[in-house]
Amino acid sequence: MSRIEVKEEFKQLFYEDGRINYKLLAELGREDPSIFESVGRSIISRFLPRRGVDFNIKLKGRVELREGEKKITYTLSVCPECRSLIKAIVFERDGKVLIRKYCPDHGEFEDIYWSDAEFYYMKRREAADGRGILNPYVGVVNACPFNCGLCVRHKSHTALLNLVATNRCDLSCWYCFFFSERAGYVYEPSLEHIRYMLEAARKARPIPAIAVQITGGEPLLRDDIIEIIKIAKELGYQHVQLNTTGIRFVEEPELAIKIREAGVNTIYMSFDGVTPITNPKSHWEIPYILDALRKAHLGAVLVPTVIKTVNDYEVTKMILFGLKHNDIVRGVNFQPVSLVGRIPKNERNRLRVTIPDIVNRVEEETSGMIRKEDWYTVPFTIPISEFIEAVTGKPQFTMSNHFACGVATYLFQDQKTGLITPLPKFLDVGGFVDYLKELTEYIRKGGSKKLALLKLLAKIGKFIIWEHTPEQLKKRKRIYWMLFNIFARHNYHALGEFHLNTLFVGMMHFQDEYNYDVARIQRCDIHYVSPDGRLIPFCTFNVFPEIYRDRLQKIYSYSIKEYLEMNRLKSMSQIKYRRNIRKLESTELYRKTYEGFWDPSRLSYEEKKKISIRFGIPVIEQ
Amino acid sequence: MKHYSINLKYVNNYHNYQFDMAGYIYIPSDGEGYKLAEYIECEPDDDFILYLEKYFTEYLRRITYNDIVFADEYELKLGCVDLDSGYIVHVIDWFKPRIEKYIHIMSVVDNNITTEYLSFEDGINRLKELDIVLPGNNRA
């Protein structure tokens, strides 16, 4: 690490290797929290990626199309070999959308972008841009995406802020390089530092961050997690989400009640399948985690990372599992795998899953019950924000991701018949949004806001397709009154009630160096707050860890030795989780949770043990 | 003193990435103003995209915030005069995202850059205050 030039007054804070003496900074921050901002701003220019060292710009040359290929759009990408900004083309071939890029030094790279061109064109119509931010934290020094912080080029405000509370973890998953022992340091910002970071994101204009996800490592390893949640609530975050494996709830179920009472709205947790083969990370613990959340009345979103040939054959089962536990599971949010590191083309083709692969598989496996046209992209919701903005005259929270980043739908299951109905089957969502656009235009041209609202209320019923509406929503015209309450009375309690009866199913495809598209990054609305106060889009923070995530966290870290001494620990492995498969499988709760999905007798105990150990979780007998 | 004009088309949005640059370089003509010396058409220089984004993205968003959607589709004609006194004056005719004319005055003194983005009328007045005469008597 190069030496960091810092102001004279902060020099005592830095070690020779450029790392901050975090113990000292945390102590000073307890007395004067403004030091976090002063230190961050004083060294920010040194943290930004440097051209010629961290990246290059190589825009010479053209990316050519071949016979049978049709251009969709030109864009910019990065070279997976030298991390240079290079030219790319998104094109159609054999009914698929691909991205090809050209580096003058390393040649051509090609990867699948969306596996269904027809679906791509259908969803592209929903594309729309947001308004970005008024008060960029960094100036324009480098080319995008090597200038993150955010800068004036960014087109979306923060919709979900990620706060890394620690890089310690009680698991050691084989594929992860992020946790403290492998990273070689402990990143764990103090409470005062966390307050500064959360405040920094609240200062963004015109729309401050209102939703935060506390993540890690494993955030539940922090003894002061309740304080962190309370700080977020105190600063005005309306939605607080905790990204956890939930494994700590197995031994300490009352912790779920405590974090719900402190202000957590949702638990966001990894769930890669319904069997131990597909979900070696938490298969045995899931029944107990869901039970703890049930008792705490705390909803969960299951988050499967989908990999072709590994667990893609279980996507529909995972949705059905979510519906089975819909009393506590609020959503299933699939994440098609992001292929990190150098991976040969054949191997990428074997593992790569894109959004349409999941959509088409679900349609096929549900015999058309959940159709392709039932999915909508994230920016599809922009006209709703624009309508409310036109009515209230105030800038509104807008989800303006690139359309190719994600899609979602809502499912409603009839409690008597078990029939699954996606929301677009009983609500003409497209027609409704088109009508909102029309009304927004009417208000913008000087039309009466009251009249626009009256028109909307008079017409709401026309967008409901009563013959397909599930019985529970048909009774006393519940669906009508729900929409009426949301748009006429701005009563979001009705929306909450709707969520309780439905399953959100979404997908968010994070990028990697092979399918990287700068047009997507400039629209990202899922940001990390860094220890120096910058807001960094998800797919730059994690795709270029050496110049964003790891660089920043290493500078603001404790050495392992320092951390062990401070906490009187002998080794970091003291916090590691060890699994008792026999005990976890022995209960009625385990059997009932997986009833209809998995028969534990299909694998021998030795096979199960091997699965757990190979994944990185030791097994104990007692 | 250098004097040139550039036609620039820069598209970086959902549906396209394109960068076209063509322009004219003028040279002084025996005290009689300037004469056309060369027509140039070129591939974007690696540095130019950064220059463009650094000055024009910020500039464009400052003048159009809340007025247009943030489309990154610029088409403009840039007339530039680089003066020996350290001032660089851009007279910019915007064609996209909307038709406007602006003057951008940069001053480079001891490597410190200050910039002023002004409407055409305010720019002309400011140039008079600074005693800067552009080729064509400040009519750009």
Task: Dump pLDDT digits (tens) for A91-119.
Answer: 999 999 999 999 999 999 999 999 999 99
pLDDT at residue A163 is higher than 90: yes
Residue A143 is nearest to which of B16, B19, B50, comparing CB atoms? B50
pLDDT, tens digit, 9 for 90 and up, residues A258-279: 999 999 999 999 999 999 999 9
pLDDT, tens digit, 9 for 90 and up, residues A327-342: 999 999 999 999 877 7
Q: What 3-state DSSP class applies to A446?
A: coil
Chain A residues with beta carbon closer than 8 angstroms to that of B54: 140-141
Residues of A in CB contact (< 8 Å) with B are 57-60, 73-76, 87-88, 124, 127, 129-132, 134, 139-144, 152-153, 155, 402, 518-519
**With pLDDT > 90 as the criterion, what percentage of chain A qualifies?**
75
Q: What 3-state DSSP class applies to A533?
A: coil
* Least confidently predicted of A318-322, A568-572, B8-12, B50-54: B50-54
The CA distance from A525 to A538, in Å, is: 8
- pLDDT recorded at residue A311: 96
Residue B46 is nearest to which of A59, A75, A402, comparing CB atoms? A59
Contacts for A206 with CB less than 8 Å, ≥ 6 apart: A131, A133, A134, A157, A395
* B65 in contact with A, Cβ within 8 Å: yes
Q: Compare all CA atoms of chain B with the CA of A59 and give the residue at the minimum distance.
A: B46
* B54 in contact with A, Cβ within 8 Å: yes
Hunting for tokens 């004279």 — which residue is that? A8
**With pLDDT > 70 as the criterion, what percentage of chain B qualifies?**
74
A479 to A423, A468, A476, A610: CA distances (angstroms): 11, 12, 9, 50
Chain B residues with beta carbon closer than 8 angstroms to that of A152: 57-58, 61
A15 or A375, greater pLDDT:
A375
Angle at CA of residue A416, ends A410 and A421, nearest 5°: 25
Residue B57 is nearest to which of A74, A134, A153, comparing CB atoms? A153
- pLDDT recorded at residue A491: 64
pLDDT mean across residues, chain A: 92
Q: Are strands A211-215 and A160-164 parallel, antiparallel or unpaired?
A: parallel
Of the pLDDT bands very low, low, confident and very high (cuts 50, 70, 90), residue A59 is confident
pLDDT, tens digit, 9 for 90 and up, residues B71-84: 577 788 888 888 88
Supply A236's token pair.
Answer: 């005005």
pLDDT at residue B70 is higher than 60: no
pLDDT at residue A454 is higher than 80: yes
Q: Do A140 and B16 touch (CB under 8 A)?
A: no
- pLDDT recorded at residue B138: 45
Report ipTM for this prediction. Answer: 0.73
> What mean pLDDT is predicted for residues A60-86?
92
- pLDDT recorded at residue A2: 42
B23 to A228, A524, B17, B47: CA distances (angstroms): 57, 35, 20, 17
- pLDDT recorded at residue A1: 40
Q: Do A57 and B49 touch (CB under 8 A)?
A: yes
Hunting for tokens 């996507």 — which residue is that? A315
* Least confidently predicted of A149-163, A452-466, A497-511: A497-511
> What mean pLDDT is predicted for residues A588-607?
97
How many CB atoms are closer than 10 A to CB A448? 11
- pLDDT recorded at residue B30: 66
pLDDT, tens digit, 9 for 90 and up, residues A167-216: 999 998 887 777 888 889 999 999 999 999 999 999 999 899 999 999 99
Q: Do B57 and A140 touch (CB under 8 A)?
A: yes
Supply B88's token pair.
Answer: 């660089």
Work out the minimum CA distance from A519 to partner chain B, whole angstroms: 6
pLDDT, tens digit, 9 for 90 and up, residues A285-328: 999 999 999 999 999 999 999 999 999 999 999 999 999 999 99
User: What are the φ/ψ torsions at residue A142 (nearest 5 degrees)?
Assistant: -120, 170
- Maximum mean pLDDT: which of A372-381, A479-488, B49-58, B110-119: A372-381
3-state secondary structure A250-316: HHCCHHHHHHHHHCCCEEEEECCCCCCCCCCCCCCCHHHHHHHHHHHCCEEEEECEECCCCCHHHHH
Supply A221's token pair.
Answer: 């390893």
pLDDT at residue A5 is higher than 60: no
Sign of the Cα pseudo-torsion (A323, A327, A330, A332, in order): negative
Angle between helices A191-202 and A225-234 (to 10 degrees): 30
- pLDDT recorded at residue B140: 40
> Distance of alpha carbon A166 from its chain centroid, rounded?
17
The CA distance from B38 to B24, in Å, is: 6
- pLDDT recorded at residue A394: 86
> What mean pLDDT is predicted for residues A505-520?
95
Q: Compare all CA atoms of chain A with the CA of B61 and give the residue at the minimum distance.
A: A152
User: What are the φ/ψ torsions at residue B24 (nearest 5 degrees)?
Assistant: -125, 140
- pLDDT recorded at residue B112: 76
The CA distance from A299 to A286, in Å, is: 14
Amino acid sitting at position A11? K
B79 or A609, greater pLDDT:
A609
* Least confidently predicted of A158-162, A410-414, A551-555: A410-414
Supply A484's token pair.
Answer: 């009426």
> What mean pLDDT is predicted for residues B93-103?
84
Supply A424's token pair.
Answer: 């677009």
Write down the number of H helices and E strands in chain A.
26, 20
